[in-house]
A and B are shown apart, each in its own frame.
Chain A
Amino acid sequence: MTNPAGPLSISDSSGAVYSHDIAAERPWSRVLKQGQTLRIIDSGGQQAVDALLYCADDPAERYSAQDTLRVQGSAYIELGTRLVSNKGRVMAQITADSCGRHDTSAGCCSCESNAVRFGEETKYQHACRENFILELSKHGLTKRDIVANLNFFMNVPIDPSGKFTVVDGISAPGNYIDVTADMDVLFVISNCPQVNNPCNGFNPTPIRVMIWDPPKA
């Protein structure tokens, strides 16, 4: 992993087999075949992207934040991070990253946690968990399948004393992260609607997803 500014195998945006703009505050899902690379582009900058991964063949096997951090020995998602399942298998890897800081400890926003954090008047605002529930329902999955997720482009420094803060996102317009699948995975995204903390710069914006097939041998 020697190329933090650029992708390892994808030299430009040509040749993508799929491209889609996810509107602000909306969910998305798609199966990534083994070897395919998903690029998530923070089109407008400072936009948190919540993500969950499930093994396409058996969704009881899914992304595990704690297993991923234990195997890595450190607390943040970055270039080279292997995304590990609850069965200890590598599901995908971060193969390019032009941003440098991503979280997997802060979870996703929900109507219920917003009401606790920011006051009951924020309960009736759209939230990532609403997105996840609706998107997962297309695949026969439910709230109980929502585990601790990835937060791409979300900046959550953890202090040696334990202090835990969501701070302003550091991603600039056009920053991207590439995730290459090690198995067939159902990749689920919520383009975060949160307006009560700085994770989206208080202004949720669209993102773009693109998919490439593995390079021909």
Chain B
Amino acid sequence: MTMAPTKQEIAEVNRLRYEELRAAGQELTPKGLPEATALDGAPIAPDAVISREHVPSGWYATVRLRRGEALRIVDGLGRSSVSLIGWREEDTSERINCADTVKVQWSAAISKGRVILSDMGRVLLSLIEDTSGAHDLMVGGSTPASTLDAFGTPSRNTQENFLAAATKIGLSLRDIPPCVTFFAPVSVDAEGRFLWNPGRKRAGDFIDLRAEMNLVVVLSNCSHPLDPARPSASGPITLIRHRAPPPAHDDPCRTTSPEIVRAFAFTDRLYA
């Protein structure tokens, strides 16, 4: 007769599995991540470009991306930070989830080869090219209060940009989740304080985000609230929507870890 496992035996099995996943996620996976894209790397073939747009400092853009398309965000002057939120087009209750993004990848730092997850265990965006690797998932964008503190006068800010963009597509304040901010070199010191690493911003930095579902994304081009160079820290950005090459079977973003392989399997099922 076999005895059912006791609570303690189940706990021991779960702990061992957790330790194995942690070791893989924090030791093996980072070694397998691709090198950062060179500033002059990854040219887009002219016939792959769908549209191109310049967003002035302080402003926002709403972009619809079909699954398989990519959005290149270019920080030409190296002075911008770009905050992003997004929803699945067919069901906007599914949206970017920064907490699951860092938890599933065992890392608050994302770079080329990493992905951004939705709250439904699916992949929203893949970082297929990235020259920077300095992005923030913890602090969020600027707000009316943070810009008033910094500039002494009300200024354009990410929170109001997100609200305006969400409202224009029938959503509201309730639909604005925590955001990711690209070209925002934030790290955490041993005491938990946030640090800004200005040496990690360069003119011409860019990132290519491949949509893994049909999406609506909003990009806000406002200085990050920790950027000490404000208010001069700003400049226009360029957005290039383009057709990304179809992912190969060993696509780096799709194969980094067992967790990510599962997230893509669940995403692909939506479109199977």
Contacts and interface: CB of A to CB of B under 8 A. Distances in A.
- Interface of B (DSSP majority class): mixed
A130 interface: no
B262 A119 contact: yes
A76 B272 CA distance: 41
B11 A113 contact: no
Contacts of B93: 142-144
Interface string B114-147: 0001011110000000000000001111011110
A65 interface: yes
Contacts of B190: 160
A75 interface: yes
B58 interface: no
Contacts of A166: 103
Given A119-B262, A160-B190, A202 B15 contact: yes
B22 interface: yes
Interface stretch (A9-17, A28-36, A169-177, A193-201): A193-201
A23 B160 CA distance: 40
Nearest to A161: B109
Interface stretch (B174-182, B202-210, B247-255): B174-182
Interface string A186-213: 0000000001111001110000000000
Nearest to B173: A60
A48 to B, nearest CB: 13
Contacts of B143: 67, 70, 88
Contacts of A203: 7, 11
Contacts of B145: 88
Given A147-B177, A161-B109, A69 B259 contact: no
A118 B108 contact: no
B21 A117 contact: yes
Interface string B67-102: 000000000000000000000000011010111101
A37 interface: no
Contacts of B117: 113, 116
A110 interface: yes
A215 interface: no
Interface in B3-23: 7, 10-11, 14-15, 17-18, 21-22
Contacts of B225: 70
B40 interface: no
Nearest to A159: B188
A115 B121 contact: yes
B187 interface: yes
A127 to B, nearest CB: 11
B59 interface: no
A19 B259 CA distance: 41
A106 to B, nearest CB: 5
B193 A73 contact: yes
A118 B139 CA distance: 27
A197 B18 contact: yes
Nearest to A75: B192
A113 B104 contact: yes
Interface in A79-131: 86, 88, 105-108, 110, 112-113, 115-120
Contact of A162 (B92, B99, B177, B187): B187
Interface string B165-189: 0000000111111110000000111
27 contacts: A61-B173, A65-B178, A66-B178, A69-B138, A70-B225, A88-B144, A105-B108, A106-B99, A112-B120, A115-B121, A116-B100, A116-B263, A117-B21, A117-B103, A118-B21, A144-B174, A148-B99, A148-B177, A158-B138, A158-B192, A160-B188, A163-B26, A163-B108, A164-B108, A195-B10, A196-B18, A202-B10
Interface of B: 7, 10-11, 14-15, 17-18, 21-22, 26, 92-93, 95, 97-100, 102-109, 117, 119-122, 138-141, 143-146, 159, 172-179, 187-194, 225-226, 259, 262-263, 266
Q: Which are the 5 A-B pairs with shortest beta-carbon distances?
A: A107-B99, A162-B109, A66-B140, A112-B121, A202-B11
Given A116-B100, A148-B177, A164-B103, 8 more contacts: A70-B226, A74-B193, A75-B194, A106-B103, A110-B121, A115-B262, A147-B178, A195-B10
